[in-house]
C-alpha cells in the first residue's frame, strides 16, 4: 500500500483533477486521508490523497485549487514528503505540534474567495471535521459541498472495494461471547436513553461481533457498518464476504447480514421519535446526513471503544503468552542478524523486514504483521515513519545505529516493539542519546498514577529526562493497542498534543505503548518502545492507583548505554526487566537464539 508513485503521474493527476474542478465550477477540493469508517489505514479504494499527490505517508490532507496544491503533514512525515513531493507541483505544508485548529481549514478560509465552492466527499469526512470546516468557510461566505466524490471522475482505474472473507474470532482467544458483548452494548445504550446505535469504525465492529477480516493491511478488520437495536442488530457488509455458516452463527445471536450499500438507507428508515446513539468522532458527515430530523441524536463515545480497551483477565493471559512467542521470534532474528553482520553477509533494510517477518511467521497463531516494519539505518532512523522500498533503502554496513520498529498480529494478541542496536563502532553521542531515551522509557514504565487520570497528562513523565538535555520528539509517547485488532486504538493516548478529555481516562486492563525518542535529521534516530498494561497498584486515602506491567519481552541493547548516566534504581529496573525477559523467553528458544538471549540479558 506504500509503493511510490512516479512524479510525472502525480503531476498529471493533479492537472486532471483541476480540469474536472473547472468544468464543475469548484474553487477548491479537499481530499483527506480517510475512508467512510474514519480508519487510520485505508483500503486502496480510498487512497485518493496518495494516488493524486505521490506522497505515500499514512497521514496527510491534500488541498487543490486552480493554482495551488499542498499536503499538510506533521513532523513525522516532513522528511518523507520533502523527498517525494518535488516535481509533483504539490507543496509540503508543515503542521506544527499543538495547533488547536486544522491548518488546512484556516488556509481554505483565507484563500478561497467569497461565494467560491469548496468540495469534499462527505462520505469520508468526519462529523467533527465537517462542523469545523463548515463554520470556518461559512464565516467567510464560502460554499461547502459534501455531496460530490471527484475521485470517481478522475481516477479511471480506481480499485474496487475490498472483498476478503470475514471469519470468526473464536474461543479460547475470544473469551467473551458475542451475545454477552451485545448485551453490554445495549446496557450502555439504555443508560444513554438510546434505542439504536450505529457503528462504523471497523475495530469496534470486529470486537462487538467477535469477527475478523483482511480488508485493511495489517489490521484484521473488515469493511462494514452496523445498526444495533434493542433486540437485534444488522451488519452491512459486501456481498459474498460473509460465509453462510457464519451468517447462521450470527443469526443465533439475533444478528442479520445486509448489503454494504444499505447502511445509509437503514439510517434514513429510522422511525420518527426514535433515539440514535452515535459517536461524532467515529461517524462521517455523509452518513449522519441520512438520519431523519425527527430522530433524536445522542452523541457519546462508542461504548465498545471503552469496553475493548479494557482487556479481560483471560485476554491478558493470552497477551502475556503472545509476548513470549514474539520475544522468541525477536531472539531468533537478532541472533541471525548479529551472526550475519559479523560474517560480512550483505544485509539491507529490506532484509531486516524479510527475516523478522519470517521469524514471526514461524510462531503459533501468527496471522500477519501489525504494521509495515520500519528498519532505518543511521539517517533513515531519524524519520519516525520511514519505510524502506526497493527503489530506496540502505545497506547495513559501516558504523552507526539501526532502528527497528515492528510488530505482529496473532490470534492471541497484537505486538508493537522498537529496538535500536549498534552496527560497528558507535560514538559517545550515540550512547548519550540512547541512554537519555531509555531513561524516558523507564521513567514512565515505573510510574504510579491515580486511576482515571487523563492519559495525555502522563506524557511529560517520559519527556522529562529528554527535555533535561535540551531535546524533544515530535510524536506522542504512547498509543492504545488492540487485542488481535488495530495496533493503534483509543480511547487512551499518551501525548501532550492530544486534548486531555474525560474519555481518555486510564483504567485497569488498558494496553498502551511507551515510546519516547530522539531524532537527529541526517544522522540517527533512537526510539525504545515497550507495550505496557494498566494494573491495580493499591488504594490509599487519596483513591485507587494504577501502575504499568511491562508486557514486551525483548532485551534493550546494553552496548548502546552510557551506564554512568543511569542511577542505581534505573540500573536495578533494567536488570530486573532483563531477568524477566530471559526467564520467560528462554523456554521458547534454543541454540544460537538462546545463547544470544543469555548474552543480551546479562546484568549491568
Write out pLDDT tens, residues 11-50.
Answer: 999 999 999 999 999 999 999 999 999 998 889 999 999 9
* Mean pLDDT for the stretch of residues 519-536: 97
pLDDT at 1: 36
Write out pLDDT tens, residues 309-335.
Answer: 999 999 999 999 999 999 999 999 999
Classify burial at 161, counting beta carbons within 10 Å of its beta carbon; exposed 0-12, middle 13-18, buried 19 or more: middle
Is residue 234 a contact partner of residue 258, using CB atoms and an 8 Å limit?
Answer: yes
Q: Using a pLDDT cut of 70, give the percent of the chain over it.
A: 98
- 264: its cell numbers: 445509509
pLDDT at 50: 93
If pLDDT is split at 50, 70 and 90, which confidence band does 3 have?
A: very low
Contacts of 32 (CB under 8 A, 6+ apart): 49, 61, 62, 120, 124, 125, 129
Q: Using a pLDDT cut of 90, give the percent of the chain over it.
A: 90
> Of the given ranges (145-149, 336-340, 552-556, 589-593), which has the lowest mean pLDDT?
145-149
Beta-sheet strands, E only, within 220-323: 224-228, 233-237, 255-259, 275-278, 296-299
pLDDT at 315: 98
pLDDT at 391: 84
Distance between CA 342 and CA 339 in Å, rounded?
A: 5
Classify burial at 486, counting beta carbons within 10 Å of its beta carbon; exposed 0-12, middle 13-18, buried 19 or more: buried
Backbone angles phi, psi at 84, to 5 degrees: -95, -25
Does the pLDDT of residue 7 top 70, yes or no? Answer: no
pLDDT at 128: 85
pLDDT at 97: 59
Is residue 572 a contact partner of residue 563, using CB atoms and an 8 Å limit?
Answer: no
Q: Which of 592, 555, 596 is nearest to 576 (CA)?
A: 555
What number of other Cβ atoms are within 10 A of residue 231's Cβ? Answer: 8
> Of the given ranges (151-160, 513-522, 527-536), which has the lowest mean pLDDT?
151-160
Q: Could you give all domains of the chain from N- to C-terminal order, each with its CATH number?
A: 7-154 (3.40.350.10), 167-301 (3.40.350.10), 310-600 (3.90.230.10)
* Mean pLDDT for the stretch of residues 328-349: 97
Q: Which of 290, 280, 122, 282 is nearest to 202 (CA)?
A: 282
* Mean pLDDT for the stretch of residues 498-512: 95
Tell me, letter by letter, the H, E, C secondary structure of 194-217: CCEEEECCHHHHHHHHCEECCCEC
Does the pLDDT of residue 392 top 70, yes or no? Answer: yes
Write out pLDDT tens, residues 433-491.
Answer: 999 999 999 999 999 999 999 999 999 999 999 999 999 998 999 999 999 999 999 99
pLDDT at 146: 94
Q: Which of 58, 52, 18, 19 is nearest to 35 (CA)?
A: 58
pLDDT at 76: 74
Distance between CA 235 and CA 225 in Å, rounded?
A: 6
The mean pLDDT value of the chain amounts to 94
Q: Which of 366, 350, 356 is nearest to 336 (CA)?
A: 356
pLDDT at 171: 93
* Mean pLDDT for the stretch of residues 407-419: 98
Classify burial at 191, counting beta carbons within 10 Å of its beta carbon; exposed 0-12, middle 13-18, buried 19 or more: exposed
pTM for this structure? 0.91
Q: Work out whether the CA dihedral 505, 506, 511, 514 comes out positive or negative.
A: positive
Q: Pairing mode, if any, of strands 117-119 and 28-31?
A: parallel
pLDDT at 503: 93
pLDDT at 4: 46
Distance between CA 180 and CA 184 in Å, rounded?
A: 6
pLDDT at 362: 97
Backbone angles phi, psi at 212, to 5 degrees: -140, 165
Write out pLDDT tens, residues 536-569.
Answer: 999 999 999 999 999 999 999 999 999 999 999 9
If pLDDT is split at 50, 70 and 90, which confidence band does 387 have?
A: confident
Amino acid at each position: 500500500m506504500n509503493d511510490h508513485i512516479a512524479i510525472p503521474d502525480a503531476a498529471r493527476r493533479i492537472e486532471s483533477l483541476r480540469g474536472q474542478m473547472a468544468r464543475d465550477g469548484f474553487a477548491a477540493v479537499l481530499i483527506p486521508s480517510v475512508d467512510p469508517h474514519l480508519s487510520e489505514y485505508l483500503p486502496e479504494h480510498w487512497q485518493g490523497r496518495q494516488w493524486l499527490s505521490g506522497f505515500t505517508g499514512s497521514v496527510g490532507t491534500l488541498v487543490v485549487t486552480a493554482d495551488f496544491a499542498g499536503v499538510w503533514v506533521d513532523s513525522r512525515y516532513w522528511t518523507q514528503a520533502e523527498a517525494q513531493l518535488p516535481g509533483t507541483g504539490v507543496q509540503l505544508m508543515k503542521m506544527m505540534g499543538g495547533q488547536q485548529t486544522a491548518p488546512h481549514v484556516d488556509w481554505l478560509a483565507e484563500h478561497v474567495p467569497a461565494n467560491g465552492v469548496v468540495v469534499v466527499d462527505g462520505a469520508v469526512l468526519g462529523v467533527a471535521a465537517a462542523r469545523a470546516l463548515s463554520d470556518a468557510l461559512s464565516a467567510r461566505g464560502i460554499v461547502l459541498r459534501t455531496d460530490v466524490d471527484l475521485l470517481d471522475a478522475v481516477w479511471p482505474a480506481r480499485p474496487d472495494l475490498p472483498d476478503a472473507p470475514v471469519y470468526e474470532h473464536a474461543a479460547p482467544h475470544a473469551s467473551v461471547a458475542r451475545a454477552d458483548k451485545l448485551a453490554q452494548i445495549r446496557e450502555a445504550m439504555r443508560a444513554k436513553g438510546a434505542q439504536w446505535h450505529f457503528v462504523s469504525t471497523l475495530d469496534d465492529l470486529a470486537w462487538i461481533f467477535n469477527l475478523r477480516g483482511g480488508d485493511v493491511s495489517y489490521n484484521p478488520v473488515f469493511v462494514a457498518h452496523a445498526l444495533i437495536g434493542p433486540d437485534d442488530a444488522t451488519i452491512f457488509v459486501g456481498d459474498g464476504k460473509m460465509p453462510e455458516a457464519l451468517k447462521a452463527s450470527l443469526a443465533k445471536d439475533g444478528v442479520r447480514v445486509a448489503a454494504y450499500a444499505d447502511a445509509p438507507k437503514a439510517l434514513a428508515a429510522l422511525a420518527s421519535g426514535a433515539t440514535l446513539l452515535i459517536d461524532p468522532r467515529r461517524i462521517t458527515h455523509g452518513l449522519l446526513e441520512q438520519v431523519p430530523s425527527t430522530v433524536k441524536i445522542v452523541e457519546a463515545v462508542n461504548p465498545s471503544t471503552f469496553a475493548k480497551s479494557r482487556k479481560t483477565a483471560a485476554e491478558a493471559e493470552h497477551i502475556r503468552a503472545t509476548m513470549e512467542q514474539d520475544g522468541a521470534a525477536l531472539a531468533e532474528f537478532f541472533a541471525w542478524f548479529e551472526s550475519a553482520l559479523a560474517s560480512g553477509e550483505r544485509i539491507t533494510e529490506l532484509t531486516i523486514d524479510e527475516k523478522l517477518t519470517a521469524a514471526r511467521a514461524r510462531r503459533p497463531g501468527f496471522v500477519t504483521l501489525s504494521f509495515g516494519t520500519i528498519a532505518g539505518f543511521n539517517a533513515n532512523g531519524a524519520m519516525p515513519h520511514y519505510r524502506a522500498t526497493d527503489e530506496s533503502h540502505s545497506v547495513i554496513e559501516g558504523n552507526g545505529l539501526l532502528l527497528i520498529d515492528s510488530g505482529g498480529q496473532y490470534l492471541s494478541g497484537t505486538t508493537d516493539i522498537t529496538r535500536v542496536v549498534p552496527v560497528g563502532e558507535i560514538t559517545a553521542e550515540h550512547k548519550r542519546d540512547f541512554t537519555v531515551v531509555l531513561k524516558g522509557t523507564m521513567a514512565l514504565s515505573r510510574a504510579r498514577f491515580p486511576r482515571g487520570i487523563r492519559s495525555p497528562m502522563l506524557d511529560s513523565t517520559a519527556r522529562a529526562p529528554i527535555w533535561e538535555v535540551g531535546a524533544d520528539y515530535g510524536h506522542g509517547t504512547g498509543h492504545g493497542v488492540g487485542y488481535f485488532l488495530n495496533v493503534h486504538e483509543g480511547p487512551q493516548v499518551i501525548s501532550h498534543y492530544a486534548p486531555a478529555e474525560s474519555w481518555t481516562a486510564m483504567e485497569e486492563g488498558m494496553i498502551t505503548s511507551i515510546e519516547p525518542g530522539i531524532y537527529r535529521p541526517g544522522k540517527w534516530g533512537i526510539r525504545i518502545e515497550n507495550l505496557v498494561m494498566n494494573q491495580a497498584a493499591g488504594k490509599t486515602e487519596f483513591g485507587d492507583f494504577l501502575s504499568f506491567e511491562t508486557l514486551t519481552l525483548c532485551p534493550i541493547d546494553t552496548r548502546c548505554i552510557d551506564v554512568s548516566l543511569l542511577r542505581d534504581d534505573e540500573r536495578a529496573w533494567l536488570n530486573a526487566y532483563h531477568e524477566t525477559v530471559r526467564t520467560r523467553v528462554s523456554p521458547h528458544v534454543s541454540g544460537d537464539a538462546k545463547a544470544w538471549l543469555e548474552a543480551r540479558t546479562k546484568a549491568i
